[in-house]
């Protein structure tokens, strides 16, 4: 059973690293100046604002992704999923209900942890760029 945990950890970490590298490569292509193809079609000030917005969102998304991976790994390593499973089993012996309770608890926990990040994105970043 322990080797299966290591496999899950490796998959999560490798997936995160691949996504992180691809995001960094994508972000490196954000151009500070308007491409010649868009010259005259797009306002230079608005374009710079758009690039700044994309960079800010990229940085924030990187932080949120790292936090999410760390929480998932901690939950996996320290037996959080087992604890949620035991909790769900105290509420029912029916496998369908156990599954629903399990995923409901995980979903609720995920929503609670992501709420501050969603708030920051919607009410701080969006406000900073005048979209709110």
Residue among 84, 128, 124 at smallest CA distance from 104: 84
- Provide mean pLDDT across the span 89-109: 97
* pLDDT at residue number 1: 56
Domain residues of the chain, as ranges?
2-128
DSSP, residue by residue, 31-94: -SS--GGGBTTB-HHHHHHHHHHHHHHHHHHHHHHHHHHHHHHHHHHTTHHHHHHHHHHHH-S-
pLDDT for residue 76 is more than 80: yes
Question: How many residues make up the chain in this entry?
Answer: 132
- 103: pLDDT strictly greater than 80: yes
**pLDDT at 17 > cutoff 80:** yes
């Amino acid at each position: 059973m322990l080797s299966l945990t290591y496999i899950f950890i490796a998959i999560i970490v490798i997936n995160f690293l691949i996504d992180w590298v691809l995001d960094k490569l994508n972000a490196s292509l954000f151009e500070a100046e308007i491409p010649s193809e868009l010259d005259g079609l797009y306002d230079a000030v608005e374009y710079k604002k758009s690039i700044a917005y994309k960079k800010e969102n990229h940085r924030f998304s990187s932080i949120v992704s790292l936090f999410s991976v760390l929480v998932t790994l901690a939950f996996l390593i320290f037996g959080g999923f087992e604890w949620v499973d035991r909790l769900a089993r105290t509420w029912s012996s029916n496998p369908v209900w156990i599954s629903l309770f399990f995923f409901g608890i995980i979903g609720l926990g995920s929503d609670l942890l992501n709420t501050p990040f969603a708030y920051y994105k919607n009410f701080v970043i969006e406000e900073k760029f005048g979209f709110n």
